[in-house]
Amino acid sequence: MSASPRRGFTLFLTGLSGAGKSTIAERLAQSIQAEYQRPSTILDGDIVREMLSSGLTFSRADRELNIRRIGYVAGEVTKHGGICICAAIAPFRTARAEVRARISQLGGFYEIHVATPLAVCESRDPKGLYKKARRGEIKGFTGIDDPFEAPEHPEIAIDTSKLAIEEAVKKILALPARDGLL
């Protein structure tokens, strides 16, 4: 008799550019593999933009479509018992709510607000984007001249200026572990 299939889940990290989403996503994937011997799929916003959404602009409608695309792929991974880790700015609540509703029907869903303050993100500025936005070279940059609608009820909020990445990973993984998904 075979064991019942595992239920999949999505860890959806949202926050400003430079908040630590991609770093946390990579460490989550490493920890899940090392501790639970399970692979995971990372959908990083920058890579998705390049590979799946390259024709989109940064208008609100296109940003929401980009998040819906991420949600669709994450939902497919989740539906088939996999683990998906999404790391995207995802600035609008409506698109995140749609993704939550879709994936929650298929498996577990955890919204993680990487709530690192703007000043810290700006000081990190790994891609030099904040400087360009402040100089007016980039218009509609989230956190500068375009809004980031913070999650109202995330499963967890992480501030990487106050919490080490390894501690953040432990806190995040405690959620699906608590629910019997790991």
**Secondary structure (H, E, C), 84-126:** EEEEECCCCHHHHHHHHHHHHCCCEEEEEEECCCHHHHHHHCC
Token readout for 31 is 């920890």
Mean pLDDT, contiguous 10-residue spans, the chain (182 residues): 71 97 98 96 90 81 92 96 97 96 97 97 90 91 92 96 96 96 94
Other CB atoms closer than 10 Å to residue 170's CB: what's the count?
13
Token readout for 173 is 């993984």
Nearest-angstrom CA–CA distance, 115 and 154: 11
Nearest-angstrom CA–CA distance, 122 and 117: 9
pTM, entire model: 0.94
Smallest Cα–Cα separation from 82: which of 51, 108, 100, 102? Answer: 108
Nearest-angstrom CA–CA distance, 79 and 32: 18
Q: Check residue 5 and give its pLDDT.
A: 63
The DSSP secondary-structure symbol of 146 reads: B
